[in-house]
Homo-oligomer: A and B are copies of this chain.
Amino acid sequence: MKRIPQRTIDRVLIYIRTLEHLIKEKRHLISSGELSRITGISDVQIRKDVSRFGRVGTPRIGYEIEELNRTFKDYLLQKDTVKVVLFGVGNLGTAILKYPGFSKNRINIVAAFEKSSAKVNKNINGVKVYSVDKAPRIIKRIKADLGIIAVPENASQEVADIMVLSGLKGIVNFSPTSISFPKNVTVKDIDFSLEFLSLLCNIQHRK
């Protein structure tokens, strides 16, 4: 199959999330129109996305939910579990450690790292907190996939460097600053302030 663009992947992840809700409700069939109403994504867009996977729905009937979900997941979510490490066990870091949604998506936070010695060696929600200087060794040993930056702004670049050095190829950066990194590493920035301001501009600038 041809390479799937990131935009499409992000939509498909929403389809998967929705289909799994429906499966829990024992639903079996869904049309592109109904999926559109639930997700807010247009029905044509949904059919285009589905057809990319070669999947065939039944005219007049719609798509078989289980089958569609399996097709998406087989293609996108090859790894059975994702191993993630967290840097920074402050308020946000702790909330992430306790976030209830990860387990159902097979996302496992396997270790946390902290500078402040008061938190080191604690155990939060079953995750051990280590001193930052142990990070490279531990990350290589457990072969983590992704890393999370949840440290204060002024420490984020330093922490990012350690993550790159440890061989992580993907980073989710919650700190409100641009970090530099080699181009074989992929970074996703989530800056809460920017999300709010973006939404606000969005509202104000629509006539």
Residues of B within 8 A of A4 (CB): 205
Sampled A-B contacts (26; CB under 8 Å) = A3-B205, A4-B205, A6-B201, A9-B202, A9-B205, A10-B198, A13-B197, A13-B198, A14-B178, A17-B177, A40-B180, A78-B204, A82-B197, A91-B98, A95-B95, A101-B192, A101-B193, A102-B196, A104-B193, A105-B197, A145-B200, A145-B203, A170-B199, A172-B199, A186-B206, A188-B199
Q: Which 7 A-B pairs have the closest CB atoms?
A: A95-B95, A91-B95, A105-B193, A91-B98, A92-B95, A101-B176, A170-B199
A198–B6 Cα distance when bound, in Å, is 8
Which residue of B is nearest A152, CB measured? B100
Complex contacts, A92 vs chain B, CB 8 Å: 95, 99
CB neighbours of A169 from chain B (8 A): 203
- Contact across chains for A180 and B38 when beta carbons are under 8 A apart: yes
CB proximity to B under 8 Å, residues A73-104: 76-79, 82, 84, 91-92, 94-96, 98-102, 104
Q: Is the CB of B146 within 8 A of A200?
A: yes
How near does chain B come to A184, taking the closest CB pair, in angstroms?
10
Chain B residues within an 8 Å CB radius of A198: 6, 9-10, 13, 188
Interface residues on A, range: 35 or more
Task: Count identical subunits in the complex.
Answer: 2
Residue ID in chain B nearest A100 by CB atoms: B152
Residues of chain A in range 8-56 having any CB-CB distance to chain B below 8 Å: 9-10, 13-14, 17-18, 21, 37-40
Cβ of A11 to closest chain B Cβ, rounded Å? 10
Whether A194 sits at the interface, judged by CB under 8 Å, is yes
Q: A3-B205, A17-B191, A40-B178 are in contact. List 4 more A-B contacts (CB 8 A).
A: A9-B198, A105-B197, A172-B195, A186-B206
Residues 101-120 of chain A, each 1 if its beta carbon lies under 8 Å from chain B, else 0: 11011010000000000000
Residues of B near A98 (CB, < 8 A) are 91
Interchain CB contact under 8 A, B95 and A178 = no
